[in-house]
Structure 1
């Protein structure tokens, strides 16, 4: 079971394969892992203790801890928080969460505040300039209402987390990328165009 894997100088944490999206561009559509990660499909979800031990065993030399595997990490919000509380004082490096931004919909409550003091960066996949295009691309369990929830989540995160990022994949047309950039600017978060990984 691959709980953690290294990409560059970051240690990535793979705690779940569950996701509220089924994005057309998702790396899961193209294989079982990324780089030298090994198989990221889980037979079962690792416990908090297993995850903590795996991080502590493998984090040496890493400059960032990133919760991003073959699922939406905030499906397991409470467990992610428990893991960060256990490891952050020991590892001394920044913590990032890569998310689809639907945690509030998943858990039925506002969740950004729960990450305050624990997470240094939240990177939210925006990937479309409006609700209709987002649903056509990402196929959320929550339909078109996911888009507005993502925008609200980003605005909430900004109150509690030092770095909030909206990202899009570079296969989008340039006009849509610029529309997404404007959304990020209006909310006051960082904007990043990321390379599609296959």
Structure 2
């Protein structure tokens, strides 16, 4: 799907975009974090030439229409400048429909779905999601609070609990952290992932997409 095709899919903005052989789905601009390093707080909604600013939140059928035929995609990735699990019902429905096309589904998330929804949603996710990438971003709570500015108390521990529960449900879990954030020890972040029994990926500050 080209940039113009994605824009044409909805007056609301770009709902689906293609990068690296994957199809990325943009569900929402709302988020449970207010990360100081997030480009949207500096006026940029751009990811590799795609303007991901949404004018309204799309429904499931609009997202599916924007995604189109995904049989040639390596992965379907729920990822925009918002937290996709805030729209859990829409995410689950779209993921189920795309899994019927044989798609592999991943969520890029802050790992706070259980905290926000007040229950363990990983069993529901496990039915339609193959993998999750969870933004750890710090090796201790103080630095996490400093850089990510969560709206809920207990977020740092909650994301680790989510990672553990998702892994137990058979979901392929990767924790990520950004190299370049002040005070963040990437090796210590990786050690947290190893302690949880999940994968780890190092990201680079200001490299988006």
Q: Same fold (TM over 0.5)?
A: yes
- The residue that corresponds to 1:49 in the other structure is 61
- Structure 1 pair 189/5, CA: closer, same or farther in 2 (3 Å)? same
Is 1:63 the counterpart of 2:74? The answer is yes
TM-score normalised by the chain length of structure 2 = 0.87
Moved over 4 A (4+): none
- The residue that corresponds to 1:164 in the other structure is 173
1:23 alignment partner, SS class: coil
- Structure 1 pair 163/192, CA: closer, same or farther in 2 (3 Å)? same
Instruction: Using the TM superposition, give the Cα deviation of residue 173 of structure 1 relative to its aligned residue in structure 2, in angstroms.
Output: 6.3
Instruction: Using the TM superposition, give the Cα deviation of residue 172 of structure 1 relative to its aligned residue in structure 2, in angstroms.
Output: 3.7
Tell whether the 8 Å contact from 2:99 to 2:128 is kept in structure 1 after alignment: yes
Deviations 1:105-132 (A, max 9, x none): 1111111111113111100000011111
Find the aligned partners of 2:104 and 2:41 in 1 and give their Cα distance.
29
Deviations 1:110-163 (A, max 9, x none): 1111111311110000001111110111000014x1001011000000011331
- Structure 1 pair 101/190, CA: closer, same or farther in 2 (3 Å)? same
Among 110, 115, 139, the alignment partner of 2:149 is: 139
RMSD: 1.6
- The residue that corresponds to 2:9 in the other structure is none
Is 1:35 the counterpart of 2:48? The answer is yes
Query: Higher mean Cα deviation, 188-197 or 169-178?
Result: 169-178
Unaligned residue ranges in structure 1 (runs of 5+) = none
Tell whether the 8 Å contact from 1:115 to 1:161 is kept in structure 2 after alignment: no
Instruction: Using the TM superposition, give the Cα deviation of residue 66 of structure 1 relative to its aligned residue in structure 2, in angstroms.
Output: 0.3
Unaligned residue ranges in structure 2 (runs of 5+) = 1-12
- The residue that corresponds to 1:77 in the other structure is 88
Q: Alignment length, in residue pairs?
A: 194
TM-score normalised by the chain length of structure 1 = 0.92
